[in-house]
Amino acid sequence: MALSHLAASASRSSSLLKPLSSALSLRRPISGDNSPLTVETSVPFTSHQCEAPSRSVETNPKELLTFFRDMALMRRMEIAADSLYKAKLIRGFCHLYDGQEAVAVGMEAAITKKDCIITAYRDHCTFVSRGGTLLEVFAELMGRQAGCSKGKGGSMHFYKKDSNFYGGHGIVGAQVPLGCGLAFAQKYSKDETVTFALYGDGAANQGQLFEALNISALWDLPAILVCENNHYGMGTAEWRAAKSPAYYKRGDYVPGLKVDGMDALAVKQACKFAKEHALKNGPIILEMDTYRYHGHSMSDPGSTYRTRDEISGVRQERDPIERIRKLILSHDLATEKELK
């Protein structure tokens, strides 16, 4: 009884670390636990030209708690960026990732820092999952020298060379050929590593994507094209922009997988599967079914082309952090209070 009282008072203080370390003082072993756990993904995978991986994902308590912590950090970071933008401390363009955290976190769990990731302008959280610090993020957003690009890039140009994070790109779709070039270099150097080239449902209609996909398939490159489908290309819904919004099928001769992008474990499973596939058979497309709570950018309220009901509906039913929270609680890995 006394112990839990101590734990409660400890968690009232500020740092995010406190809940976990105070949990250690209780008898249940948590943060250091690697004991295997199998969880079923929310929905089965849908595949195109390949066999879908199993719904059962191997994980462990430590990983689940790390997922929770990382996604919560990312969520708070994006909300803080929102406030800073409104206070005019961040200027220009600012595209926030809240809602999509599971993609960044799940992907990172399936790969190593030797694998490359390249994405578009909604890159704050991907940068963090590749090892970027909050200081580098906020300094860059506010145009300071301590930023990851020395303040010269801004929100859309985050890069981290030492962990193979190649940015950070403003022009829609242009990063996909770059990503295939990274995969080419990996094949050239015989690295046994892969490249994840991320793009959105809006970019999926760019010609250069299909050009790069053709070349990657021809040359057997270890390129994994990941469509983060948040269903809106700025203000245009996917059904108004794409004749065929089944983005995982648009590779035609290139296999594809549709994944619930709000389920970090499903993302992890899919990325693991994709990495194995790409190293053996060349390119594959992953479509992550995800959602962004904010508008396209800070200049977009995000409510003129979708209803507030839709947004709150997704938040209630599919929020990635809530899903992990429920998993942690149902497996008794931590208490409600610790997860605040």
Partner 1 sequence: MERDLRVCVMGEDVGHYGGSYKVTKGLAKKFGDLRVLDTPIAENSFTGMGIGAAMTGLRPVVEGMNMGFLLLAFNQISNNCGMLHYTSGGQFTIPIVIRGPGGVGRQLGAEHSQRLESYFQSIPGIQMVACSTPYNAKGLMKAAIRSENPVILFEHVLLYNLKERIPDEDYICNLEEAEMVRPGEHVTILTYSRMRYHVMQAAKTLVNKGYDPEVIDIRSLKPFDLYTIGNSVKKTHRVLIVEECMRTGGIGASLIAAITENFNDYLDAPIMCLSSQDVPTPYAGTLEEVTVVQPAQIVTAVEQLCQ
Q: Which spans of this chain sit near partner 1 (rule: CB under 8 A)?
A: 116, 118, 147-154, 157, 159-161, 166-171, 174, 176-182, 184-189, 207-208, 211-212, 214-215, 218-219
Least distance CB 214 / partner 1 (angstroms): 6
Least distance CB 295 / partner 1 (angstroms): 24
Taken in order 170, 176, 181, 187, the sign of the CA dihedral is positive
Helix (H) or strand (E) holding 287: strand 284-289
d(CA 192, CA 278): 10
Largest CA distance in the chain: 66
Nearest to partner 1 of 222, 261 (CB atom): 222
Unique residue bearing structure tokens 């996917």? 238
Least distance CB 251 / partner 1 (angstroms): 14
Helix or strand or coil: residue 258? strand
Nearest to partner 1 of 106, 168 (CB atom): 168
Helix (H) or strand (E) holding 322: helix 320-330
Nearest to partner 1 of 160, 258 (CB atom): 160
Where would I find the H helices in 87-158? 101-110, 124-129, 134-141
Least distance CB 184 / partner 1 (angstroms): 5
Nearest to partner 1 of 225, 262 (CB atom): 225
Dihedrals φ, ψ of 335, to 5°?
A: -95, 165
Helix or strand or coil: residue 232? strand
Nearest to partner 1 of 160, 272 (CB atom): 160
Least distance CB 134 / partner 1 (angstroms): 17
Where would I find the H helices in 189-293? 207-218, 238-241, 264-281
d(CA 330, CA 180): 41
d(CA 217, CA 100): 28
Report DSSP letters for 32-86, one per residue. T----EEEE-SS--EEESSPPPPSEEEE-HHHHHHHHHHHHHHHHHHHHHHHHHH
Nearest to partner 1 of 221, 286 (CB atom): 221
Least distance CB 198 / partner 1 (angstroms): 14
Least distance CB 167 / partner 1 (angstroms): 7
Nearest to partner 1 of 169, 323 (CB atom): 169
Nearest to partner 1 of 157, 231 (CB atom): 157
Least distance CB 201 / partner 1 (angstroms): 19
d(CA 121, CA 104): 14
